[in-house]
Structure 1
Amino acid sequence: MTAEGDENYLTTAEVARRLQVKPETVYAYVSRGMLTSVRARGRRGSLFAAGEVERLASRSVEHSGVVERIESQLTLLQDDELYYRGHPARSLATTATVEQVAHFLWTGQPIPSGQPGQPEAVDGFVVGREGVLLARRAMEVVPDGARLTDRLRVAVAVLGAADPLRFDLSTPAVTAAAGTLIETLVAALPGPTAARTTLGGRLWPKLSDHEPRPELLDATLILLADHGLAVSTVAARVAASARANLYAVISAGLGALDGQYHGAAPTLAYEFLARAMDDPLTALSDQLRSGEPVPGFGHKIYQQHDPRADVLLELLGDHPVVDTIAALAERTPKLPNSDLAIAAIMHAYDFRPDAGDALFALARMIGWTAHALEEYAAPALRFRTLGIYTGRTT
């Protein structure tokens, strides 16, 4: 390929200076299709279109390689508020069904008008008896002491292996598979099956023996559905960039979620709150003495309040556990976050101790699906970065 004029072209040395990398790295970009080199008549060496170089420079370029900038239309975190496609999540949590919000995130199609909170307002997720039986058998393979999230990971892998059309990455196929997967996982979890109700209502008897309050779990699933580029979401997007199928994408997300600094947060808050309900001041003192952060308090993004916690604690009303949280909040400058709100729900209705992680995982499957759909529409394999070898050369 040749350049017709060199006034809009840069030499290799000029590109290296602009991108703050070595000339060898420039050629590595060429080999990976990130830059296109051209030749000019009468000149030696490669030239590069200035516009293409500027587009590459607009990304975050470091000595270790290029970090791809991820553009998304899904979630906005701004001024201590959470928005899904421009709509406040706190409003959606109390006026829409989980299925409605999922389809809204997946397709961008407006939520249809109808009786708020009623499953008839939109087509629900589809579930098949055969899939539920298969998922249950998969979940039964794990040891008795395994967590619900362990059962979910195994079931997702098995259901994916059983789906011969899993490599259909079209939007209708992916959204249908995601809805069926989530519904199947909920139905397959140990515990009784509820009559026709909302998704939160069907999940409730799997987690608690108390009189159901479906609106609590529906709101929780909606508020936790997505939260921007959390580490598990990035893992899911990287898998989708390689054109992994939906089940593999969700498995990637579940793998990252299993880390102690991510998906385990609700359980840590649950355990801390259990101690605090007996004696808030002593529990807080012991936690501070340990030098570890106080579980359920503080957030890297929210400064004054976590809107997800606001909604869930308000739905709990005047339950005594809310008084415990208020007592703790008076003695720490950090805000109560969604992990603490989930822990409060768990204590208020005697959920099984591992319910918080499972709630987080099931909810985030909605967001991972939405991010996968965006990634399927983007260039494939765009997340490969350049590594710097630091080992021995001889």
Structure 2
Amino acid sequence: MTHDSAHGPGTQNARPEEAAGRLTTREAAERLGVKPETVYAYVSRGQLASRRTPGGRGSTFDAAEIDALARRTGRREPSPSTTGDLVFRTGITLIEPDRYFYRGVDATELALRYGYEEVAEWIWTGELHPGTRFTAAHEPLAAARRTAAAMPRHSSSTDRLRAAVAAAASADPLRFDLSPEGVLNSARSLIPTLVGALPTAGEPGRPDVVDPEAGGGALAAQLWPKLTARAPDEASVAVLDTALALLADHDLAASTLAARVAASAHAHPYAVVSAGLGVLEGPLHGAASGLAHRMLSEVLDRGGAAPVVADHLRTGRRVPGLGHRLYTGEDPRAVALFALLDGLPQAAPAMAAARDVVATTARHTPLHANVDLALAVFSVSYDMPAETGETVFAVSRTAGWIAHAMEEYTERPLRMRPSGQYTGPRPPQPLPEHAN
């Protein structure tokens, strides 16, 4: 393995910029493992400083600063996509067997210390801005509200969110600006727009209690009245805020892959979020927490987990809220939320029910609780609907989809073009005849 030997002390014919610890754009891109245009994207985000070369043709970069950025984002290796493997270079989230990281920082520690908007900014830019608040733009918010309010009363929150995204997009003429700052401006407005488009809990036609357009407090406080009619308190809203931050990204989950495919075609950020929402609604992804909610409610109604777990096993259904394919031990997101919920008296019954489920199931197979079970404890404790976890997931993960879109916009467009393995009838086949 070489260690940049061309720039070592034995080099006899180094250029002046090399001798001064400066790299050309091409050299900086190679050291980071990205394209030259990505290097300029880092400059536009304020993550790198550049200096014009004498004569003004091209830029140079400080080698130490490039190396520091490589350590923060994780050095990108050449994409193995040419070998047929579907692998994406990403500097957003790293998942290990027992924890995960946002841009190299422990994600649970970050979520416990900072609010959702601050964590979203960190995921997007690698910079922390304490006190960040997102504000919805007037016209996209109004369009989203009108559209969501016109839907049938039985529409799910995800139905309304999908409609709200499309409506907000139609009201934003700048949605096609795919520059980093343009995408960020859209994202900072879109997320509170999604919250603002949801009806107040129990009253589908009632306007907002907290108006996102007015920048009324943290996003979690704006979301609370959309989830339950119960009055909020500081500790409970803090749990919701932490849940939003914990769920903001989780590497290439199915919905994130869909978002990156859309971004690869240079779809605008609203379309990227629409792609993610479409996949999220599947019962094996965002809707999984709803199954856990219903199970916990049944455990509380029946006075214990044993008959409920037995029913699931008897019918061949897996017990919701247990196990995760990426974590060999406990899901760190669940651990963080359970620690907060343990301190809330109103969550005690649902916490006891969740522990009963884990203990009862352990007699059959040792599985740890995952974040879906933690979200279910939260939603059951505050008389929230079963779809609450999915709603929280959708609003939160919008930040991750945007972050992945920003990465994908710097890659070669339409690079995700797999070849189908045709299994139909071999040609030539006769023309079909009209059926009688």
TM-score if structure 1 supplies the norm length?
0.80
Which consecutive aligned stretches of 4+ in structure 1 deviate over 3 angstroms post-superposition?
58-61
Contact 2:264 2:414 in 1 (8 A): yes
**Shift in Å at residue 86 of structure 1?**
0.9
Contact 1:222 1:363 in 2 (8 A): yes
Partner amino acid, structure 1, of 2:132: D
Contact 1:74 1:85 in 2 (8 A): yes
Alignment of 1:1-394 (within 5 A): 58-59=80-81, 61=83, 66-109=84-127, 111-112=128-129, 121-191=130-200, 192-194=208-210, 196-212=216-232, 213-278=236-301, 279-317=304-342, 319-332=348-361, 333-392=366-425, 393-394=427-428
Residues 84-128 of structure 1, C-alpha deviations (whole Å, 9 max, x = no match) = 11111111111111111111111112x24xxxxxxxx33311223
Residues 329-373 of structure 1, C-alpha deviations (whole Å, 9 max, x = no match) = 112211110001101100000112322211111111010000000
Aligned length: 326
Residues 260-279 of structure 1, C-alpha deviations (whole Å, 9 max, x = no match) = 21121011111111111233
Counterpart-to-counterpart distance in 2, 1:247 and 1:197: 24
**Shift in Å at residue 297 of structure 1?**
0.6
Q: 1:129 to 1:163 in 2, by over 3 A?
A: closer
Contact 1:74 1:84 in 2 (8 A): yes
**Shift in Å at residue 60 of structure 1?**
7.2
Counterpart-to-counterpart distance in 1, 2:414 and 2:228: 43
Q: 1:140 to 1:352 in 2, by over 3 A?
A: same
What is the DSSP-based 3-state SS (H/G/I as helix, E as strand, rest coil) of the residue aligned with 1:71?
Answer: coil
The share of aligned pairs that are identical, in percent, is 43
Contact 1:296 1:339 in 2 (8 A): yes
**Structure 1: gaps (5+ residues):** 1-54, 113-120
Residue aligning to 1:116: none
Contact 2:305 2:360 in 1 (8 A): no
Partner amino acid, structure 1, of 2:135: V
Counterpart-to-counterpart distance in 2, 1:387 and 1:286: 41
CA RMSD of aligned residues (A): 1.6
Contact 1:60 1:68 in 2 (8 A): no
Counterpart-to-counterpart distance in 1, 2:135 and 2:224: 18
Partner amino acid, structure 1, of 2:339: E
**Shift in Å at residue 388 of structure 1?**
2.3
What is the DSSP-based 3-state SS (H/G/I as helix, E as strand, rest coil) of the residue aligned with 1:154?
Answer: helix
**Shift in Å at residue 186 of structure 1?**
0.9
Structure number with higher relative contact order (C-alpha < 8 Å, ≥ 6 residues apart):
1
Counterpart-to-counterpart distance in 2, 1:367 and 1:297: 24
What is the DSSP-based 3-state SS (H/G/I as helix, E as strand, rest coil) of the residue aligned with 2:326?
Answer: coil
TM-score if structure 2 supplies the norm length?
0.72
Partner amino acid, structure 2, of 1:164: P
Residues 11-44 of structure 1, C-alpha deviations (whole Å, 9 max, x = no match) = xxxxxxxxxxxxxxxxxxxxxxxxxxxxxxxxxx
Contact 2:256 2:404 in 1 (8 A): yes
What is the DSSP-based 3-state SS (H/G/I as helix, E as strand, rest coil) of the residue aligned with 1:330?
Answer: helix
Partner amino acid, structure 2, of 1:99: E
Contact 2:97 2:326 in 1 (8 A): no
Contact 1:67 1:385 in 2 (8 A): no
